[in-house]
Amino acid sequence: MLSLDLSGKNAFVAGVADDRGFGWAIARHLAAAGASVRVGTWPPALGIFTKSLERGKLDQSLPGGSEWAPTKIYPLDAEYDAPEDVPADVSENKRYAGLHGYTISEVAAALAHDLSGEGSGRLDILVHSLANGPEVQNDLLDTSRAGYLAAMGASAYSLVSMIQRFGPIMSADGAVVSLSYLAAERAIPGYGGGMSSAKSALEGDTRTLAFEAGRRFGIRVNSISAGPLASRAAKAIGTIERMVDYYAQNAPIQRELEADHVGAAAAFLCSPLAAAISGETLHVDMGYHAMGMIADTDLLTED
């Protein structure tokens, strides 16, 4: 029987802070397939996340009644490549108090150290579930240069930086998956602050990185263009519930997207079943991306 088996694989999922987003769903599906999963959490959310996990307040269930927990949780702020990049107002902020080693290069080094005594000592799966735009509720025309560049850095360049630093410790048949959105291809009102530009860059970089990282490290790089999900992080958009309803009404498959749909697709892309797939953006959105007009239109009404 054909199966999705990730037994013995080591995975790192960046961007997990609760059990309602895509990052957690991807981590759960990788764990369900047998992978050992480590996660990276934004430092200001680390305390709440770890306490919720310890108190059993998160959905840790897996198929068959078993449960899982991350092998290790690393503080990760993907806006910074190295310690010298962290400004004083961040490092001295009370939300970062007592934390260190949270830049991309430091997390990569810590992960390499942790894996060095385990089996092959290699990372097999890297998931980029990161996005942030401080001015996401602003129209692009009303976005400042600082807000635009912040969105690009946190949501797009962070993938480049992570592959630069994690690529050397990945196995030759490793897989990278990032999360995108249809705003990379189409105009989506309300998704502003430079986030649409960041997602366009992310998908373009996916193709270029698939070539460069494939040749340099032997790894595959793909992206998932997911439909809207009313996660805690997505609530920053301000209109996420309306977007979810709109998709459910107008997509070919009239169902709300669930985080597990994306989790399953990511597990497939990270598995040997997808060994020949790289540089791809896979739409997981109930087919909405295929539509050229809304379904609720007078043109569909017979006289």
The candidate with the shortest Cα–Cα distance to 60, out of 103, 101, 93, 16, is: 16
Which residue is it, tokens 């799966």? 125
Q: Which band of pLDDT confidence, cut at 50, 70 and 90, is reported for residue 300? A: low
Which tens digits make up the pLDDT trace of 51-95? 999 999 999 998 778 899 999 999 999 999 999 999 999 999 999
**Percent share of the chain, pLDDT over 70:** 93
Residues in the chain: 303
DSSP 227: P
Q: Report d(CA 27, CA 19) in Å as an integer.
A: 10
The candidate with the shortest Cα–Cα distance to 105, out of 27, 168, 176, 39, is: 168
pTM of the model: 0.93
What's the pLDDT at 292? 85
For residue 179, pLDDT beyond 90: yes
Q: Which band of pLDDT confidence, cut at 50, 70 and 90, is reported for residue 233? A: low
Q: What is the mean pLDDT of residues 14-21?
A: 94
CATH class of domain segment(s) 10-287: alpha beta
What's the pLDDT at 239? 63
Which tens digits make up the pLDDT trace of 246-256? 888 888 998 88
What's the pLDDT at 157? 98
Residue spans per domain, the chain: 10-287
What's the pLDDT at 294? 80
Catalytic residues: 181, 191
What's the pLDDT at 295? 75
Q: Which band of pLDDT confidence, cut at 50, 70 and 90, is reported for residue 238? A: low
Q: What is the mean pLDDT of the chain?
A: 92
Q: Report d(CA 236, CA 17) in Å as an integer.
A: 15
Q: Which band of pLDDT confidence, cut at 50, 70 and 90, is reported for residue 234? A: low
What's the pLDDT at 33? 96
